[in-house]
Structure 1
Amino acid sequence: MSFLKQYLAVRAMTTSICSDLEKEDYVVQPVVDVSPPKWHLGHTTWFFETFILMPFFTGYQVYNPDFNYVFNSYYEAIGARVIRTDRGNLSRPTVDEVYKYRAYVDEAMSHFLSREPESDHLKELILLGLNHEQQHQELLWYDIKYILGHNPLFPPYRRENIEQEFLAAKSIMADIEEGIYEIGYKGNDFCFDNELNAHKVYLQAVSLSTELVTNSEYEEFVDQGGYRDFSFWHAEGWDWVNNNNISAPLYWHLIDGAWYRYGLSGLNRLKPEEPVCHVSFYEAAAFAQWKGMRLPTEFEWEAAADQLKWGQLWEWTESAYLPYPGFSKAPGALGEYNGKFMVNQKVLRGASVATSNSHSRKTYRNFFHPHLRWMFSGIRLVK
């Protein structure tokens, strides 16, 4: 597929995700980790304007010079920016103006991509831009759900939605033998820099559950007082539970003695057979302790991936987010993409129902702080 066709398809998917929103939904920022949908639309457009059009498209005129300040996310090398906590204060530019911005950049990119790029460097930048927007598409699912799920009316997003792809099956244990395994990306297609370099690790023999922990299994942990017993929790996790009055996964609501869960189709009775979703690392680790098991390391997960059913939810691992041997950051602003976040975070492996198909590879390394749970995150156990 040509770069132009790829570009147009990716851009259309982003606007499709937002197509059922009301104007008021575009500007809400309930918490710091949630960005308003309007900001995602602008930021992904800014990325192509800043890294592709401005340096490579002769004669390109920037749509609005102020948008660099508004839509820069964390690139220190690009200049000053609106701090993350203030993205919800941006009543201007309006939603309509942001869509005009997207149309303006899309027209310029269509002209630019009417001829296939020749340099490998430019091809890599375009691929990065496409994959970057696909990452923001997944973030849009998280953020839209959080915005609507914290509205006291619990409005549905769409009756037909990606969460209906959750499936359940009976779990068995998959074994990996003791030995040396090669970890990391080894192909010739696109990957993020944090998947490099491929390297060898030594693993002990372990068994991983082929399926994710279900709602019914986790409900038993909740009902038996798992959130009230410190012995299952990391000290930091126990502080998090008590300081934030946590008593169940995100979006769970106890109504008249029964558990309900807010999903993209609205507030409904908890489905016991579905995988438990929206849990933090602290919760995942505490549940594993309660079961007398543990979470896999990211290396165990990758070594066993071909035997596992994965792709419904991102899966917490015991591994800290650290560079692989030989990792190096790219020069300039794009070197800020992954490397500077390699501290105080945990790796999640797999993919989720919100993940672009092209991102579903067993070497993909997602990463979040251990207290976060607004993403589509689940639990796999090891013994």
Structure 2
Amino acid sequence: MPASQAAHADAPSPGDATPDLRRRYADVRGRTCALAAPLSPEDAQLQSMPEASPAKWHLAHTTWFFARFVLDDPAVIPEGWDYLFNSYYVGAGERHARTLRGLVSRPSLHEVLAWRDEVDARVLRGLEDGRFDAAACDVLVLGMHHEQQHQELLLTDIKHALWCNPLKPAYRSDLPWPRLAAAGGPGPLRWLRREEAIVETGAPPWPANAAPFVYDNETPRHRVLLPAHALAERPVSNADFAAFVADGGYRTPGLWLSDGWDTAQREGWTRPLYWHEDGVREFTLGGWRERDPHAPVCHLSHYEADACARWAGARLPTEAEWEAAAAGRRIEGNFADAGAPLHPVATAVANADAGTPSASVPSHPLGLFGDTWEWTGSAYAPYPGFRPLPGTLGEYNGKFMSGQLVLRGGSCATPAGHARASYRNFFAPHARWQFSGLRLAKDID
């Protein structure tokens, strides 16, 4: 595991077509191919559930984005591929059904990779020759961040696909497996108190005044009244969640939201996704491995996270509470960088007696970034004054502001440099295949 990732490296300023932008583009595009390199053509074709996509589709769709919105040249997109590799941009034309992406055996993986090379060569030549205006460079920067999102999806989607294989093969058998010694375990939860306050959350719009890159759903910056509350010093661990399971958490309807209970019963949930029935192992991108009790629990739906919080006599934090705690903190953690384990890793926390919220414990929560996305109790809704990007790209985030819950912080599959305090991830409450966990919160007088 790398020691920790440095502070977020912002994308180049809007309209910047310097060598740094060319380098960034090449690095992002190369990283996607490196993540796909361990996969066979058969692996890259798999679609194990409707919510997931084949690795080949991720490789093609991210290329389609640059061909469609940056190069803006129909001749660059082979016949029929505009239909195959559009995702949900209605303004860009008809689309192949998401649930049927795994049936698209042609074009081959080889043809998709060759197309990536062709599009990359055109983009890099265009940057070198200064052919892209400021608006096109802004879309290029957006496309790089979009591709980083698909890098994470590529990992979580292939993990699910390989888990569905009865042989449970590893994506990579050489991944490191750091574990925290039992004596250095995080110990009982401690609480960090915050008094009632008016805080600013969100981010200034991008691109504007050379502001760092943010998605439109993170804007605008606005004020929020935070009631007095406390956050747990660390995320809920595997050991914490195992206690919830052992205490009948999956058999106690009073702990669950109604839709959550119905879903858990219908799907037969009795433990987190990828936990083995032997109670010891979990499936990872490195195959079956012994579960670290001290590592943050992951692959939970919002329903499971909420039930666990209720069982603990707590709740999930709001996204404003989470962001207020993260604001100004260094963006460091266990991200998907070279040499990373691609799995949550325990953070050593000095042991102390658990107690009521107190001002005597450290001043900020630990492990806010990396390892696992943390479910919040907040619905994914527009901020006051939200304005989506103009045109077809406005569909990127705004159209999903219904039926989704917000997650914060990034995960072990998130690319280094792609996380920030204002970042709003969102998924449906039943989703379990992402590296999603939780941190507890409490109301206080």
Contact 1:117–1:123, Cα closer than 8 Å, also in 2:
no
Aligned length: 377
Output the amino acid matched with 2:202: G
CA spacing shift, 1:268–1:162, aligned 2, 3 Å: closer
**Shift of the alpha carbon at 1:329?**
1.8
1:237 aligned partner: 260
Amino acid in structure 1 at the alignment position of 2:33: T
Give the RMSD, CA atoms, in angstroms.
1.8
Which residue number corresponds to residue 253 of structure 1? 276
**Contact residue 379 and residue 404 of structure 2 kept, 8 A:** yes
Q: Secondary structure at the match of 2:128?
A: coil
Out of 136, 139, 155, which is 2:150 matched to? 136
After superposition, the C-alpha distances for 1:223-280 in whole angstroms (9 at most, x for unaligned) are 121101101000000000111111110001113xx33200011112222111100000
For residue 93 of structure 2, the aligned residue among 76, 79, 89 is: 79
CA displacement 1:89-142 (0-9 Å, x = unmatched)? 001111111111111111111211113566432221111010010110011111
1:221 corresponds in structure 2 to 244
TM-score (norm 2): 0.82
What runs of 5+ residues in structure 1 fail to find an aligned partner? none
Query: Residue type of the partner of 1:253?
Result: H
Higher helix share: 1
Partner of 1:295: 316
Letter in 2 for 1:284: A
- After superposition, give the CA deviation of every residue in 1:263-313 in whole Å (9 maximum; x if it has no partner): 011112222111100000000000000011000000000111242221221
The answer on 1:197 being equivalent to 2:220 is yes
Q: Which residue of 2 aligns with 1:355?
A: 414
CA distance change for structure 1 residues 20 and 118 in 2, over 3 Å: closer, same or farther?
closer
Quickly say closer, same or farther: Cα 1:163–1:9, change in 2 above 3 A.
farther
Letter in 1 for 2:302: F
2:63 maps to which of 45, 70, 77 = 45
Distance 2:195 2:424 in 1: 23
SS at match of 2:422: coil
> Do structure 1's residue 9 and structure 2's residue 27 form an aligned pair?
yes
The change in CA–CA distance for 1:163 and 1:203 in structure 2 (over 3 A counts) is farther
Tell me the distance in 2 between the aligned counterparts of 1:376 and 1:150: 17
Identify the residue that residue 39 of structure 2 maps to in structure 1. 21
CA–CA distance in structure 2, aligned partners of residues 87 and 165 of structure 1: 37
- Asked if 1 retains the 8 angstrom alpha-carbon contact of 2:126 and 2:132, the reply is no
CA gap 1:303/1:200 in 2 versus in 1, 3 angstroms:
same
Change (3 A) 1:98 1:166: farther
Structure 1 range deviating more: 108-117 or 330-339:
108-117
- Please say if residues 163 and 263 of structure 1, whose CA atoms lie closer than 8 Å, have aligned partners that are also in contact: no
Q: Say which SS state the counterpart of residue 357 (structure 1) adopts.
A: coil
Q: In 2, Cα distance between the equivalents of 1:270 and 1:22?
A: 27
Q: For the residues of structure 1 that align with 2:177 and 2:378, how far apart are their CA atoms? A: 27
Q: Does 1:308 align with 2:308?
A: no
- SS in structure 2 at match of 1:343: coil
Identify which of 185, 189, 192 aligns with 1:174.
192
Q: Percent identity?
A: 45
Please report how far the alpha carbon of residue 166 of structure 1 lies from its aligned counterpart in structure 2 after TM superposition.
Answer: 9.1
Q: Aligned partners of 2:219 and 2:38: how far apart in 1?
A: 38
Q: Which amino acid aligns with 1:278?
A: H
Q: In the TM superposition, what is the alpha-carbon distance from 1:320 to its structure 2 partner?
A: 0.3
Q: What's the CA shift for 1:54?
A: 1.7
Shift, 1:359, TM fit? 1.9
- TM-score using structure 1 length: 0.95
| Residue in structure 2 matched with residue 62 of structure 1 by the alignment | 76
Structure 1 residue 120 and structure 2 residue 134: aligned?
yes
Q: Which residue of 2 aligns with 1:265?
A: 286
